[in-house]
Amino acid sequence: MGVQEQYPFDVEAVRDDFPVLDRLVGGDPETPGQGASDDTPLVYLDNAATSHTPDPVVDTIADYYRGYNANVHRGIHQLSQEASVAYEQAHDTVADFVGAAGREEIVFTKNATEAMNLVAYAWGLEELGPGDNVVLSEMEHHSSLVTWQQIGKRTGADVRFIEVTDEGRLDTDHAAECIDDDTEMVSVVHVSNALGTINPIRELADLAHDHHALIFADGAQSVPNRPVDVDDLGVDFLAFSSHKMCGPTGIGALYGREELLDSMQPYLYGGDMIRRVSFEDSTWEDLPWKFEAGTPSIAQGIGFAAAIEYLNEIGMDRIEAHESLLAEYAHDELSALGGVDIYGPPGDDRGGLVAFNVEGVHAHDLSSILNDYGVAIRAGDHCTQPLHDELGISASARASFYIYNTVAEIDALVEAVSEARDLFA
């Protein structure tokens, strides 16, 4: 049986929902979509940065703007009522998707980065002090690492880092040494955006809770492509972004246990998050609205929910199986080329991405050459500079996969990498 015949769903039917995948690339970047006749078919393998948005989600967003565009929670008129209901129901959809108890545990943010900052400022500045520590991993995205680093500087709390093994896995023995009775927060990426490593969040959660610490999981690379249930993971907080899961940019979500969110003070103030205001003092709205100050991203929230419904129709178990198939195939095919260094665990034990370098070729040069072949990948440090320092490299190339990618596209990637290797030989 060929690899294509092992697809867990009809990939070609899914691709039909994404017109951008029919683009030819290589034309004038100042007139996107208007390339010359000799352009190259697009092979989009940069999904860990941003996925594409299917027609049903685009239509849902357009329906809001065309049919009931209005501000939420502020008007008695029909349009405002319809927008408010749709926006609030979007919270319900997101809550159900990750197994939260209800909309009270889902705060819409600008992205996963803002979700982390919300907890760091609203919880961290109040709860951390000298003698406390926050435990991260060496593979953290800057959105976690820089945030807790700066909060540590403000509060005097120590920031510790769990080491990564030579195979690109979290060193669980070192984690047990780092997490102690002075630990207040453990913040770890669920799936590494640079290594593809799937971290043992439940094990870390149990360890953190044994020491009466909280745990925050960065789900930016896990929630889009595998079933995630906050109870199963045992997390206190979880952050993820719409734009990596077929939804619009400009919106993400913070899951937080209700009792924790209820005890935290907001860190943004203004309209919509207040209940009563006087010249002397103010009181806050109920969850989750007390953390959503000002006019929210209404269309984006409604589109976020539509993206989740789209993914649910495919099935998260099938999506995980598809990404695993592509990641293993890409890992094996790139390894077989020779002269390619791949970072992270084996192909059958990683999320849907492969980071690598070609001997003698800088990652930026490789990305530029691949672009000539129509293959879009990411090159750089992937917002994990300290991890790259530990690996002894300045940058890496990263191919990342999603529901609409195919084995044929990985073959195109491998062929282009082979050509680039030979060019610099």
What stretches of 11-132 adopt beta strand conformation (E)? Answer: 24-25, 40-41, 43-44, 106-109
Using the CB atoms, write b or e for 361-391: b if 16+ within 10 Å. bebebbbebbbebbbbbbbbbbbbebbbeeb
Mean pLDDT for the stretch of residues 13-31: 85
Marked catalytic residue, from 58, 176, 260, 383: 383
pLDDT at 75: 86
> Does the pLDDT value for residue 26 go beyond 60?
yes
Q: Average pLDDT of the chain?
A: 95
Q: In terms of DSSP H, where are the helices of 99-141?
A: 112-119, 125-127
Cα dist from 204 to 152, 172, 213, whole Å: 21, 8, 11
Answer yes or no: is pLDDT of 238 > 80: yes
Tokens linked to 376: 């879009």
Residue 1 has pLDDT above 70, yes or no: no
Residue 18, SS3 per DSSP:
coil
Candidates 3.40.190.10, 1.10.3720.10, 3.40.47.10, 3.90.1150.10; correct CATH number of 3-51+315-424? 3.90.1150.10
Place of tokens 């027609």: 55
Instruction: Please determine, for residue 31, whether its predicted confidence score (pLDDT) is greater than 90.
Output: no
Residue 210 identity = D
Residue among 403, 221, 217, 412 nearest 316 (CA): 403
Percent of residues in the chain assigned helix, strand, coil, to nearest 5: 45, 20, 40
Annotation marks residue 178 as catalytic: no
pLDDT tens-digit map of 161-220: 999 999 999 999 999 999 999 999 999 999 999 999 999 999 999 999 999 999 999 999
In the chain, where are the structural domains located? 3-51+315-424, 57-313
Non-local (6+) Cβ contacts of 91 within 8 A are 103, 106, 108, 288, 301
Q: Taking Cα atoms as reference points, which of 379, 335, 408, 275 lies closest to residue 5?
A: 408
Residue 50 makes CB contacts below 8 A (sequence gap 6+) with 243, 244, 249
Cα–Cα distance, 361 to 41 (Å, whole number): 24
Q: pLDDT per residue over 84-126, tens digit each? A: 999 999 999 999 999 999 999 999 999 999 999 999 999 999 9
Determine the CATH number of domain 57-313. Answer: 3.40.640.10
Q: Which pLDDT belongs to residue 32?
A: 53
354/327 Cα distance (integer angstroms): 7
Share of the chain above pLDDT 90, in %: 93
The pLDDT of 228-255, averaged and rounded, is 98
- What is residue 28's predicted lDDT score, i.e. its pLDDT? 57
Beta pairing partners, 135: 160, 186
The closest alpha carbon to 137, from 113, 117, 164, 157, belongs to 164
Residue 349 exposed, middle or buried by CB count within 10 Å (0-12, 13-18, 19+): middle
pLDDT at 3 over 90: no
188: left (phi over 0), alpha (psi -120 to 50) or beta: beta
DSSP secondary structure, 240-275, as one string: EEGGGTTS-SS-EEEEE-HHHHHHSPPSS-STTSEE
Instruction: State CA 200 to chain mean position distance.
Output: 17
**At a CB cut-off of 8 Å and minimum separation 6, what does 331 contact?**
342, 346, 347, 350, 354
Q: What is the pLDDT of residues 289-329, one digit of tens each?
A: 999 999 999 999 999 999 999 999 999 999 999 999 999 99
The CA distances from residue 10 to 232, 247, 325, 350, in Å, are 29, 20, 14, 23
CB 300 within 8 A of CB 250: yes
Give the phi and the psi of residue 44 in degrees, each rounded to 5: -95, 110
pLDDT digits over 376-386, tens only? 999 999 999 99
Q: Is the confidence at residue 286, as pLDDT, over 60?
A: yes
Beta strands 183-189 and 214-218, pairing class: parallel
Q: State the Cα–Cα distance between residues 82 and 401, nearest whole angstrom.
A: 36
Where are any strands of DSSP class E within 97-194? 106-109, 133-137, 158-162, 183-189
Angle (nearest 5°) at CA 120 between 228 and 261 = 65
**pLDDT for position 423:** 87
Contact between 256 and 278 under an 8 Å Cβ cutoff? The reply is no
CA dist 127 and 104 (Å) reads: 22
Single out the residue of 239, 200, 295, 221 nearest to residue 116, CA to CA: 239
